[in-house]
Structure 1
Amino acid sequence: MPETPLPDVAALSYEQARDELVQVVARLEAGGETLEASLVLWERGEALAARCQEWLDGARERLDAATSEGRAADGDEA
Structure 2
Amino acid sequence: MATKKQSFEQSMTELEGIVQKLEQGDASLEEAITLYQKGMVLSKNCHEQLEKAEQQLVTVVNEDGSEQPFKTDGEK
TM-score range (shorter-chain normalised) is 0.7 to 0.9
Match of 2:45, SS state, is helix
Match of 2:27, SS state, is coil
| Match for residue 36 of structure 2 among 31, 39, 42 | 42
Provide runs of 4+ in structure 1 moved above 4 Å. Answer: none
Instruction: Give unmatched runs, 5+ long, in structure 1.
Output: 1-5, 72-78
Aligned length: 65
Instruction: Give unmatched runs, 5+ long, in structure 2.
Output: 62-67, 72-76
TM-score by length of 2: 0.75
C-alpha spacing 1:42/1:70, structure 2 compared with 1 (3 Å): closer
Match of 1:11, SS state, is coil
Larger RCO: Structure 1 or Structure 2 (Cα < 8 Å, ≥ 6 residues apart)?
A: 1
How far the C-alpha of 1:9 sits from its partner, in A, is 3.1
More helix by share: 1
C-alpha RMSD of matched pairs (Å):
1.9
Identity, in percent, stands at 29
More strand by share: 2
